[in-house]
Structure 1
C-alpha cells in the first residue's frame, strides 16, 4: 500500500455540523418509515427473539427523549413517529405479560423499569407500574443495587432513575461514586480494550453525563486523557469499519467537549472529522446507517419482508447511535437552529486522506496490507512532510491496537518499526506494545497467530 496523501487539514466545524444535520434528518426519516419493526411481534415474525423483547423500542424511546431536549429546530420529530412509538410502548407495557415479567426482577428488570420510566418522561406515565418497580427496588429484588453487581449496570440503573426523576434506593450510590469505579475513570490502556470493554467505556460516559446534560464527575483521569483515548479508539474503529462504535465514540467526543468546566476542546480534525465524514458516506439514501453485521451482498439476495427484516435488524442500532451523536453535537453548537440540508455527495464529505479508513469490517486492512504500509512509511519517512508524519503517526497508533486485537505479532512488530522511524516510540501505547513483543506475546500460538482475522 502506498503512502497516503495528507494534504487536507480537515473541514471546519460548520461543515461537520451540516453533516450532522443531514445525518440526523435521514435517521429520523428512516425511523418513521420503519416504525412497524419496533413492534416486538413484528420483529419476531422474521428475526430472532430477543431476551428483552421490546429492546429496540426502548432504544427508540431513549432517542426521542433526547431529541425532546437536544433536537435542533431544523430537524423536527414527525408526529407520526412520536405518537406511533408512544402508542406502541403503551400497548407493550399494558399487556399483562409485561408486569408478570417485570415482577421476576431478573437481569432484564432494569429495562422493564426504564421502559416504564421513559413513558413517564415522554408524557404517558404508568403510575401503578412505576410504584411496582420502586417497591421491588426498595426490597432489593434481583440484587440490582448491590455492590457485587457490575458497576456499569448500577450506573445505568442510576441514570434510568435520575432521568425519570425517580428516587433511588439508599443502597444505590450516586452517579459520581459509581462513575469513579467505572472503566473510563480507571484509566484503561486502549491497547487491551476489546469490543465489550469499549462499549462499557462509551456507555459509562453516556450515563455519567446524562448524554451531555451535566458535567463529568470530578476525579481521575482528567478529561485530556479521556479525549486522547476517544481519539485513539475512534481511529481504531474507523480502521476496522465498525460504525457502531464510531458513532458512539463521536458522541463521547462531544460529551467531553460540552460536559461543563472540566470539558476540553475537541478540534474538528483528525479522527473526529474522519468519523463524521465516514458516517455521512456510509449512510444509505433511505437514511439507515449499516451496522457491523450488515452485509450488502446478503441484502441484495433478499426480497420483500425478508429484505426489510434483514435491513432493520442489521441497521437499527447503528442508525440510532448515529442519530444520538448528531443530536448531541448539534445541541452544543451555535448552528442548532440551522435548516436541514440534503445529504452532500460522497466526494464532498471530509475524507481526511487517512490510510485504512473504511466503512465496513470487510474493508479492514489485512495482515499483508499492514506490513506493506509499514514498509512504505519506513522507506519514505525521511522525505515526508510534517502533515504526512502526523497522519502516519495517528494511523500507526490505531493499527497497533488493531494488531493487538487480532493477535498479529508480525503486524505489531512491523508497525512498531514504523513508529520508531517516526520518532514516536516513546508514547505509552508504543511502550506497551513493545513490552508485549519483548515478553514473547503470541510467539508460538498454534492457531495461526499473526494472520488477520475478520470476525469483527
Structure 2
C-alpha cells in the first residue's frame, strides 16, 4: 500500500512540475477586476500544499526537493512577497492576500513590509467585524496565526457553528458539507503543519464516521473530495487502532491510483459517473496536458494538488511524522 500511495504522490508532483507555467499570475493579477480564482487562488493552493510537503518530508527525500522547487517558483512569482503590498492596498479588507501569504510564511518565506501593512489592517475594527461564515473565519485566524497575528476570537465558539463542530448526523454528509468539514480541519491544523487541532469530541466524531464518508466519495467518483477527506483522515489522532478506519484508507489509494491519468493528473470527478455530465465517456480523456485554453489544467489542478497533499500526510502519519512540530528546516526559507 505504501508503494501505491508514494506512486500517486510522485506522479502528481511530476504533473504539477511540468505544468507550473499555468500557475503564473499573469498581467491581470493586480487589476481591480482581476480574476482571483484564476491567478492567486491556484498559486496559493500550490504554496499551501508544498509548504506542508516540505514540513512533513525529510530534506533527503526527492519529494521534499520537488516541493521546495515548486514553492520557490511560487514565491518568485509573488516578487518574493513584494506583490502582496499593492494587492492589499487595492483591496484592504480582502482576506485572500493574507491567506495566500500565510502559506509562504509558514515555510519561512517572509516579507516584513507586507506583514507590517497586514498587521495595521488587522488591528482595525473594520477587519475584526467583517462578516464571514465560521469556516472562513477559521481560515483567516489560521492565516493570522501563521504570521504571528493573534485576534481575540474564540475558535471554539466558531467551531461550534460549523457543520463539523456541531457533530452532525453522519447521514447528512454531502458534497458541500464534505468540503466544509475538510477545510475546518485544515484550518485547525494549519494545513497539517501544526495548529491547535480539533478538540477531542470532534476528533472522535471524525474517527468514527470519516471512513464511511470516504467510501461514499470514492463510490461517487468524487476524487477531489475523496483526497481531501483522506487528508483529514491522516490528521485524526484517535483513529490509529481503528480497523474500519485503516480499511477505508486501504480502499482509497488503489482507487485513486486507478483514477489517476498516466500523466499524473487527477480529475475532480470521475467522468464516467452521472454527476459528471455532459462528459460520460467509457474511458476518461486525459486532460492532464492542458490545451490552448488551459481547460485540462483547470479541471485537474486542484484534485492533483490534493492527491499529492493527502498522500504526503498519509505517509507522514504512517511514519509518525504528523505528530511532530514543523521541523527546523521550515524556518530557514527556500532558496531562490
- TM-score bracket, normalised by the shorter chain, equals 0.7 to 0.9
Answering whether residue 313 of structure 2 is matched by residue 313 of structure 1, we say: no
Distance 2:85 2:164 in 1: 40
Q: Residue 264 of structure 2 aligns with which residue?
A: 287
Instruction: Tell me by how many angstroms 1:70 deviates.
Output: 0.5
Deviations 1:12-48 (A, max 9, x none): xxx2x2222111111221111111101132899xxx9
Query: CA 1:65–1:39 in structure 2 vs 1: closer, same or farther (change >3 Å)?
Result: same
Quote the residue 1:233 is aligned against. Answer: 213
Q: Distance in 2 between matches of 1:142 and 1:215?
A: 23
Taking the TM superposition and a 5 Å limit, the aligned residue runs for 1:369-384 are: none
CA distance in 1, matches of 2:179, 2:319: 29
Corresponding position of 1:218: 199
After superposition, the Cα gap between the structure-2 partners of 1:305 and 1:75, relative to the gap in structure 1 and judged at 3 Å, is: closer
Select 1:75's aligned residue among 63, 78, 82.
Answer: 63
Select the residue among 89, 100, 107 that pairs with 2:78: 89
Q: Secondary structure at the match of 1:71?
A: coil
Give the TM-score normalised by the residue count of structure 1: 0.59
The answer to whether residue 241 in structure 2 is matched with residue 265 in structure 1 is yes
Residue 345 of structure 1 corresponds to: none
Change over 3 Å in CA distance of 1:302–1:57 after alignment to 2: closer
- Residues 308 and 142 of structure 1: is their aligned pair in 2 closer, same or farther, counting only changes over 3 Å? same
CA distance in 2, matches of 1:304, 1:208: 34
Instruction: Measure, in 1, the Cα distance between the counterparts of 2:207 and 2:287.
Output: 42
- CA gap 1:302/1:127 in 2 versus in 1, 3 angstroms: closer
- Hey, what does 2:132 align to over in structure 1? 149
Q: Give 2:307's match in structure 1, choosing from 306, 322, 325.
A: 322
* Distance in structure 2 (CA, Å) of the matches to 1:122 and 1:201: 25
* Match in the other structure for 2:324: none
- Between 210-219 and 299-308, the greater mean CA deviation after superposition: 299-308
Once the two structures are overlaid, the 10-residue window that deviates more, 275-284 or 110-119, is 110-119
* Counterpart in the other structure of 1:162: 145
> What's the counterpart of residue 47 of structure 2?
61
* Deviation by residue 1:226-252 (Cα, 9 ceiling, x = unmatched): 223211211211111000111011111
Confirm or deny: 8 A CA contact 2:234 2:314 kept in the other structure: yes
CA distance in structure 2 between the partners assigned to 1:124 and 1:313 by the alignment: 27
Distance in 1 (CA, whole Å) between partners of 2:36 and 2:230 is 27
**Are residues 1:202 and 2:182 paired?**
yes
| Corresponding residue for residue 248 of structure 1 | 228
Name the TM-score, length of structure 2 as normaliser: 0.78
Aligned equivalents of 2:27, 2:256: Cα separation in 1: 28
Q: Does structure 2 retain, via aligned residues, the 8 Å contact 1:211–1:255? A: no
Partners in 2 of 1:320 and 1:301 — Cα distance? 16
Runs of 5+ consecutive residues of structure 2 not aligned to the other structure: 272-278, 322-336
Count residues with an aligned counterpart: 304
Per the TM alignment, residue 52 of structure 1 is displaced from its structure 2 partner at its CA by 7.0
Q: Distance in 2 between matches of 1:161 and 1:226?
A: 26
1:406-451 Cα shifts (integer Å, max 9, x gaps) = xxxxxxxxxxxxxxxxxxxxxxxxxxxxxxxxxxxxxxxxxxxxxx
CA shift, 1:56, in A, is: 0.2
1:250-298 per-position Cα deviation (integer Å, ceiling 9, x unaligned):
1111111xx3xx5553436543222111111111122111112865969
Structure 1 residues 217 and 306, CA gap change in structure 2 (3 angstroms): closer
- Equivalent residue of 1:185, what SS? coil
Per-residue displacement from partner, 1:354-382 (whole Å, max 9, x unpaired)?
Answer: xxxxxxxxxxxxxxxxxxxxxxxxxxxxx
Query: Is the 1:283–1:290 contact (alpha carbons within 8 Å) kept by the matching residues of 2?
Result: yes
CA root-mean-square deviation: 3.2
Q: Which runs of 5+ in 1 are unaligned?
A: 1-14, 337-456
The whole-number CA distance in structure 1 between the counterparts of 2:319 and 2:288 is 44
Contact 2:221-2:270 within 8 A present in 1 as well: no
Q: Note closer, same or farther for the CA distance 1:187–1:96 as it changes in structure 2 (3 Å cut).
A: closer
Maintained 8 Å contact 1:116/1:130? no
